[in-house]
Every structure is written in structure tokens, then in C-alpha cells.
Amino acid sequence: MKKALIFDCDGVLADTERDGHLVAFNQMWREQGINWQWSLEQYAQKVKIGGGKERMFSLAKDEDFRAVYPVPESESAWWNIVMGWHKRKTEIYKQAIANGAIPGRPGVKRLAQAALAKGWLLAVCSTSAIASVEAVLRHVMGVELARQFAGVFAGDMVKAKKPAPDVYNLAVEKLNLDPAHCVVVEDTRNGLLAATAARMTCIVTYNELTNNEDFSEAALVLSDFGEPGNEAIAIGQNRTNVQPQGYFTVDDLEQVWRDRQA
């Protein structure tokens, strides 16, 4: 029996949506000479669309965007433009990660190390491009710990992105997992829906972009995993027997797993 702890990437391993992807999108448009910038509020809505290319593609229906950029009528032509923009945006984003501009979220590395030591299998399932996910994983976990992850599964490996369960189903297939023994960490409703559709237990660690979303299906909703000696974590919802004492531990994780088996 293999127990698996599966992390989403953006917003879970690090606040990459706000401090990484949004910044990179806006820098890319400035470089292209396009008079368009996403505000944090606008991007909070776009985050509900799985995948960066898909978020930009949706701008074809935005009248404000069409007022500053001549979107082609042909979907294939528009998609080619979006692909070019996304390539440059990814380069900017990966450089920001390499420069250490985006710290990991509290407790994720500590929890991953402790879970690995207790025999848990570690993986990442994300809607982002594989190169971006691997860059974040190495940055947050460190190269040695990142190498011990059993698998990294990304949006460009599946047909449908979250809230579809495809990326989690792919992890089950490739790693020979039982969904009943998988605990997922997500930060968005789309991610939560994907995990629960894959019949996995889901813990949510929300962030500034997602703290108002509906997480009613989650087993546990936390501000983050926290660190010893830091401010105590906030618990938004708890459908488990876990009672974290200031921060979330591997013992808490194992209790979440045992609750699922009961």
C-alpha cells in the first residue's frame, strides 16, 4: 500500500500566481509594446481558467483587450499568437524563479521532508507547463529533495485541465496509486474539484487570490502549513479529526489519511 502526498504547484508550493505568473504576463506585454496589463483583481478571475495559454486565449472575448489589440478572426491564427506570447512569458517566469524572487509557502518543504521520511510517496500535479513546474519544485524543495519526488505531472501532458481530474488520473496510472490513499494539496476550487473527481482526499491552503472561493468539499482548509515559532495557522474548515497546534505536521497528515480509511 503506497500513501501519496500530491502537491499542486502554483499557489501551493509558492505564491507563484501573484508574484510570478502575473508579473511575467505583464512584463511580456510591455516588451511586445501591447498596451495591456492585468490587475490583481482581473487576474484573480483569470486564475479560474486552467492554464496560462488558455487564460490569454480568453482575451479574444474581452472588448477592452480588443480595443488595444487587433485579435484575428481565425482561432488558429490567434492561438499561434498566444503560443508565441506564452513562450516568452515562460522564459520571464523561469528567470524569476531562478533568481529566487518567489519564496516557497510556509511549511511545504518541511511537510514534504517529513512525509518522505515516513514512507510517503511525493508527487506534483499541476495545470502549468512542465518546465515551469519543475523550476518551481527545484527552487522550493531544493535539488536533492526534488529528485526524490516520484513524479511531476503537468497540464501539457493531458487533454483536459483542472477542474477535470485528468492530471490526477494520470498520476494514479503512472505511479500505480490507489486514489483512496492519496492526499492532495490544492489552493483553488478548480483544483479541489479535480482532486475530488479523482476520488482523492484534498487539503486546501488558500492564498490572496483564492481565499473567497468555495472549498466545501475539502477535508481541511488552512491558511498555510505554517512553521514552528511562526504565527499560528488559520483553520477555515475542518472535516477531519486533526487539531493542528499552530502548524500542520506529518502526524496531522497521517490522521487525515486515517480518517479517509475509517
Q: Provide the pLDDT for residue 166.
A: 98
Residues 80 and 160 in one domain: no
Among 99, 123, 145, the domain-final residue is 99
Poorest-pLDDT segment among 25-29, 130-134, 235-239: 130-134
Q: Provide the pLDDT for residue 248.
A: 98
- Cis peptide leading into residue 163 (ω within 30°): yes
Residues 120 and 8 in one domain: yes
pLDDT category at 5 given cuts 50, 70, 90 is: very high
Confidence check: pLDDT of 95 > 80 = yes
Report pLDDT digits (tens) over 199-224. Answer: 999 999 999 889 999 999 999 999 99
Average pLDDT over the chain reads 95
Residues 195 and 227 in one domain: yes
Q: Provide the pLDDT for residue 1.
A: 77
The alpha-carbon radius of gyration of the chain (Å, integer) is 18
Q: Provide the pLDDT for residue 39.
A: 96
How far is Cα 140 from Cα 159, in angstroms, rounded to an integer?
A: 28
Residues 126 and 191 in one domain: yes
Residues 166 and 216 in one domain: yes
Choose among 14, 56, 15: nearest CA to 36: 56
Residues 138 and 202 in one domain: yes
Residues 91 and 190 in one domain: no
Q: Provide the pLDDT for residue 158.
A: 94
More confident: 100 or 150: 150
Instruction: Return all residues near 165 (Cβ < 8 A) that are at least 6 apart.
Output: 194, 195, 197, 198
Choose among 259, 232, 230: nearest CA to 245: 232
| Helix 75-98 with 130-141: angle, nearest 10 deg | 20
Residues 84 and 176 in one domain: no
Average pLDDT over residues 102-113: 96
pLDDT category at 94 given cuts 50, 70, 90 is: confident
Confidence check: pLDDT of 243 > 80 = yes
Confidence check: pLDDT of 110 > 90 = yes
Decide if 204 contacts 221 (C-beta within 8 A).
Answer: yes
Q: Which amino acid, residue 37?
A: Q
Beta-strand relationship, 121-125 and 4-7:
parallel
How many domains does the chain divide into?
2
Percent of the chain scoring above 70 in pLDDT: 100
Choose among 40, 38, 49, 35: nearest CA to 15: 40
Choose among 190, 218, 31: nearest CA to 125: 190
Decide if 184 contacts 203 (C-beta within 8 A).
Answer: yes
122: region left, alpha or beta (phi > 0 left; psi from -120 to 50 alpha):
beta
Residues 241 and 129 in one domain: yes
Report pLDDT digits (tens) over 45-92. Answer: 998 898 899 999 999 999 999 999 999 999 999 999 999 999 999 999
CATH number, domain containing residue 58:
1.10.150.240
Residues 11 and 22 in one domain: no
Active-site positions read 8, 10
Confidence check: pLDDT of 262 > 90 = no
Choose among 186, 211, 205: nearest CA to 196: 186
- Torsions phi, psi of 237, nearest 5? -160, 140
Q: What is the DSSP string of 161-209?
A: -TTSSHHHHHHHHHHT--GGGEEEEESSHHHHHHHHHTT-EEEEE--TT
Report pLDDT digits (tens) over 159-168. Answer: 999 999 999 9
Residues 126 and 235 in one domain: yes
CATH number, domain containing residue 188:
3.40.50.1000
Angle, alpha carbons 59-215-160 (nearest 5°): 45
Domain that holds residue 90: 17-99
